[in-house]
Structure 1
């Protein structure tokens, strides 16, 4: 895989996570079934950790493309970030009739860039649908399970 696809992925997820880091903590303070209130310090810790995981996934695949685990980790992140743009960002914006932070970068960066990377991987026979679906599910569920734990850790570290 060309290194610039890795750079594009990292660029997209970084800008997306910066958008969330700037506006999501305040947005979360308003009553919502989509997001429990989270402080800036809790969210910033979690988003930095998730961003590091994304970079780890991308560079693991770049430097070890023969590793099935590295490939699954990377394509799982690609798929998860596409789904993340729709659920919760787009759905929250529509249902709340209020912009959900992360929607713009999710729709304009994560979906097109990650879709392009996935398309390139399919065109080079590097992945099959089963791998994409399973890895997206596993990485997505793992990230969802990890986020509340990271919020708690972020709150404890910053309150010390």
Structure 2
């Protein structure tokens, strides 16, 4: 089957250059697929190994820009490539970002659930060893408070939130 110029295969699943299944449709700022050929936002490259400081800085820029789905991708890279003892930290942060994504898309139930799940994961990780409350300068207590408050606000309001306007500050 032939590849199109967008990297998409005709008559089969979309594949990336390494042959892995990957949706080639453009996406909007909240990660929702758009029709082929539409203008979308640049996608985050996957599988990038960054230092923890680079991860936090890049994710914060994306969150501030109202692109929590893309920040989730950055956290996911850290979760998959980082040391085993930090995987729960990065997974919890990814859950917060995807919770904000769902809340911004208007998925009240899913957004609130993921925000609370991420907050719980961060609390559990921080409690598992002394001195884990501010890894890489991040304020985990502040982030868990932000996540729980946003979850309550989303449930109470019942509508989509502004992702950029409600984005967290990773470093307190």
TM bucket, shorter chain: 0.3 to 0.5
The structure in which a higher percent of residues are helix is: 1
Q: TM-score, normalised by structure 1?
A: 0.35
Structure scoring higher RCO (CA < 8 A, sep ≥ 6) equals 1
